[in-house]
Amino acid sequence: MAMVDILVPDFAEGAKSIKLKKWLVKAGDSVKKDDVIAEAATDKISVDIESPADGKVTALLADEGDRVEVGEKIAELEA
């Protein structure tokens, strides 16, 4: 099986980081492509982070409350 990185999406022009509010999955959970796996927010907007593929979450690499950068790997998925 292939490993897939779950990255913080480019959610707004010029935005560089966002606060990870809540994980909706845990390691070992199965997900489908486009399932919302985490919620993040800035002072102005909320962003759903979606799974890029079907598979099983193998690791969560950021904690709730962390500020994460656009493009940063925050989780891994076994597709």
Domain boundaries, given as residue ranges, for the chain = 3-78
Q: Confirm if 77 and 6 have CB atoms less than 8 A apart.
A: yes
0.85 surpassed by pTM: yes
pLDDT per residue over 26-51, tens digit each? 999 999 999 999 999 998 899 999 99
Strands across the sheet containing 46-50: 46-50, 36-41, 17-23, 67-69
pLDDT-derived band at 1 (thresholds 50, 70, 90) equals: confident
pLDDT per residue over 12-28, tens digit each? 888 899 999 999 999 99
Q: What is the CATH number of domain 3-78?
A: 2.40.50.100
